[in-house]
């Protein structure tokens, strides 16, 4: 996979912001094919087939060699298994049961209040400073500062994470930068050691005190949870935040509508996440010869569950290529499906909900000055997943 960074200084298209690049293949074949480091991937494109495979963990495995279910594969840059992401039942369920209460904390009022303060300060900064790169000066900062709430660590730690840039494993030189990944791994090792010496109320300390079936978690298991928490919610949250703001720039009437009808904001959150699908797909390893979408796949080959394609499936979604803010039937899979659905979904939803609420309260119009698109190259499919840069001005409500 390569990312083509396209510069476009024209206003964001008000009629078609994110086309469905998978539509023809989904309708005619049901699958797509991509090469990835000599380990090719069959992309599953239809919603029904994606959900079926996501549920069938015995045949479509997550607990393969660490890094192999990620597309592009991360086998070359890590050996630590991300937990519970790269586990299958029953072990997967043990860890989910352990982690779920912590990752539901974004529903607590204190958490919501703190998140609201973070977002309000960032919006006020953009209003005050004028032209602002939303990716680096808003979305990245929001993702990092909100993560301090999720981990329950000092706010100042976000400065370290912001300095890493928008991508944990990717640099300008490489799609998979082992040296950059090592910065994250070393940081997590150090934080675990610090929590062992000086216990606190952080997620690190919570994991050090936790046990499954009477057995304490190992340092490697704790590291696996933390790598997932850092890496899994970085690009995706940044893309979701940036795309949401860009949408309101292209459709100012939508922001006005939500200002007048705040009761539909929860549905708008789900619809924007469906439409933009910040994570294109996620892989599985096939454990036995089988077929899916009338396509034969062999044991030890890879498939990917293409969330972005499934979320535009016209056999399920009415007018799938349009944002319908109050969409009532919306079985999207932007946060995955089945036992491996996204652990951080509650956190991500709360960020987007609070962001929209804050924009409706504080911002009248959003102007785009320039943009540099982030285009993922999946062979036959060139998908815009977000922006490398997005310079904007927020005009305040009067």
- pLDDT at position 174 is 63
pLDDT, tens digit, 9 for 90 and up, residues 285-304: 999 999 999 999 999 999 99
Q: Where are the domains of the chain?
A: 2-155+231-396
Of 18-22, 177-181, 231-235, 351-355, the range with the lowest mean pLDDT is 177-181
Specify whether the CB–CB gap between 286 and 59 falls below 8 A.
Answer: yes
Give the bridge partners for 296, in sequence order: 291
- pLDDT at position 53 is 98
Question: Does domain 2-155+231-396 correspond to CATH entry 3.40.50.720?
Answer: no
Q: Specify the DSSP class assigned to residue 19.
A: -
Q: Specify the DSSP class assigned to residue 339.
A: G
pLDDT at 128 over 70: yes
Mean pLDDT on 324-344: 97
d(CA 317, CA 319): 6
Angle at 39 between CA 34 and CA 44, to 5 degrees: 45
pLDDT at 9 over 60: no
d(CA 248, CA 120): 17
The closest alpha carbon to 21, from 378, 286, 388, 343, belongs to 378
Query: CA 194: distance to chain centroid?
Result: 28
Which pLDDT band, with edges at 50, 70 and 90, does 5 fall under? very low
Number of residues that make up the chain:
398
- pLDDT at position 15 is 41
User: Which helix (H) or strand (E) segment is 91 a member of?
Assistant: helix 91-103
pLDDT, tens digit, 9 for 90 and up, residues 186-200: 999 999 999 999 999
Give the strand pairing for 215-216 and 31-34: unpaired
Q: Which residues of 95-112 are buried (b: 16+ CB within 10 A; e: fewer)?
A: bbebbeebbebbeeeebe
Phi, psi for 298 (deg, rounded to 5):
-105, 160
281 by Cβ neighbours in 10 Å (0-12 / 13-18 / 19+) ranks as buried
Q: What percent of the chain has pLDDT over 70?
A: 94
Give the strand pairing for 41-44 and 302-305: parallel
The closest alpha carbon to 369, from 386, 389, 391, 388, belongs to 391
Give the strand pairing for 302-305 and 381-396: unpaired
Q: Specify the DSSP class assigned to residue 13.
A: P
The closest alpha carbon to 374, from 118, 4, 92, belongs to 4
């Amino acid at each position: 996979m390569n990312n083509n960074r396209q510069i476009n200084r024209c206003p964001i298209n008000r009629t078609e912001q994110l086309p469905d690049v998978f539509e023809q293949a989904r309708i005619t074949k049901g699958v797509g094919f991509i090469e990835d480091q000599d380990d090719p991937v069959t992309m599953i494109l239809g919603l029904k087939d994606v959900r079926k495979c996501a549920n069938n963990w015995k045949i479509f495995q997550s607990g393969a060699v660490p890094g192999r279910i990620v597309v592009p594969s991360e086998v070359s840059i890590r050996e630590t298994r991300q937990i519970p992401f790269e586990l299958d039942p029953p072990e997967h369920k043990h860890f989910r049961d352990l982690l779920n209460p912590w990752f539901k904390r974004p529903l607590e009022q204190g958490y919501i209040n703190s998140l609201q303060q973070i977002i309000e300060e960032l919006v006020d900064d953009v209003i005050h400073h004028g032209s602002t790169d939303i990716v680096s000066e808003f979305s990245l900062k929001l993702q990092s500062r909100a993560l301090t709430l999720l981990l329950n660590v000092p706010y100042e730690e976000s400065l370290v994470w912001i300095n890493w840039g928008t991508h944990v494993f990717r640099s300008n030189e490489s799609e998979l930068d082992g040296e950059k990944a090592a910065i994250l791994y070393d940081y997590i090792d150090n934080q675990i050691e610090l929590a062992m010496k000086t216990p606190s109320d952080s997620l690190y300390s919570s994991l050090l005190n936790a046990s499954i079936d009477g057995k304490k978690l190992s340092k490697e298991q704790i590291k696996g949870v933390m790598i997932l928490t850092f890496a899994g919610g970085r690009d995706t949250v940044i893309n979701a935040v940036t795309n949401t703001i860009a949408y309101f720039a292209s459709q100012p009437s939508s922001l006005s509508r939500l200002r007048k009808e705040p009761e539909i904001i929860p549905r708008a959150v789900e619809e924007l996440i469906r439409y933009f699908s910040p994570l294109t797909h996620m892989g599985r390893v096939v454990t036995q010869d089988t077929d899916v979408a009338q396509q034969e796949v062999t044991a030890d080959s890879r498939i990917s569950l293409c969330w972005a394609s499934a979320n535009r499936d016209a056999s399920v979604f009415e007018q799938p290529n349009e944002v319908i803010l109050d969409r009532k039937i919306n079985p999207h899979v932007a946060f995955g499906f089945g036992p491996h659905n996204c652990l951080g979904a509650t956190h991500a939803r709360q960020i987007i909900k609070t962001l929209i609420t804050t924009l409706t309260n504080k911002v009248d119009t959003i102007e785009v000055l320039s943009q540099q698109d982030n285009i993922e190259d999946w062979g036959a499919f060139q998908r815009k997943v977000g922006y490398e840069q997005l310079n904007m001005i927020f005009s305040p409500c009067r």
